[in-house]
């Protein structure tokens, strides 16, 4: 299968600071990447769709100014949580789309805002 690498795997930050999470497709080019959020014992909730070279498309209810997404190349998308607050603490997961069909996921990032 294809490999998607996500970093960091864990991060603790102070309230009010910003955190950047990287998502890289290592052995395929991902024109489209997705960012998800997962709360404990719940399913994955899609936050936004990221297309290389264009602005991200955010799902309803997701603040685009708080969750900045950049997809600068066919192998890298970044999610920046700006001015993080404790309620932003969560597990964030990215996925890259191989071809136009099969999705492969990164390892996830556990964000804790204190």
Partner 1 sequence: GIQVEQSPPDLILQEGANSTLRCNFSDSVNNLQWFHQNPWGQLINLFYIPSGTKQNGRLSATTVATERYSLLYISSSQTTDSGVYFCAVESGANSKLTFGKGITLSVRP
By CB under 8 A, the count of residues binding partner 1 is 22
Q: Cis peptide leading into 57, omega within 30 of 0? A: no
* H/E stretch holding 2: none
**Closest CB 52 distance from partner 1, rounded Å:** 13
Task: Give the Å distances, CA to CA, from 62 to 46, 65, 104.
Answer: 9, 9, 22
Which residue in 19, 97, 111, 113 binds partner 1 (CB under 8 A)? 97
Name which of 20 and 91 has its Cβ closer to partner 1: 91
**Closest CB 67 distance from partner 1, rounded Å:** 16
**Closest CB 110 distance from partner 1, rounded Å:** 7
The span from the CA of 4 to the CA of 24, in Å, is: 6
* H/E stretch holding 79: strand 76-81
**Closest CB 82 distance from partner 1, rounded Å:** 23
The span from the CA of 35 to the CA of 93, in Å, is: 6
Binding site for partner 1 (CB under 8 A): 1, 32, 34, 38, 42-44, 46, 49, 91, 93, 95, 97, 100-105, 107-108, 110
């Amino acid at each position: 299968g294809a490999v998607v690498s996500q970093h960091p795997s864990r991060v603790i930050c102070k309230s009010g600071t910003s955190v950047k999470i990287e998502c890289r497709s290592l052995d395929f080019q991902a024109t489209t990447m997705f960012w998800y959020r997962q709360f404990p014992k719940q399913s994955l909730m899609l936050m936004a769709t990221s297309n290389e070279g264009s602005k991200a498309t955010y799902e309803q209810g997701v603040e685009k100014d708080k969750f900045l997404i950049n997809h600068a190349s066919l192998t890298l998308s970044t999610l920046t949580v700006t001015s993080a607050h404790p309620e932003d603490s969560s597990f964030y997961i990215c996925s890259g789309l191989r071809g136009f069909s099969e999705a492969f996921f990164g390892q996830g990032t556990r964000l804790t805002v204190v």
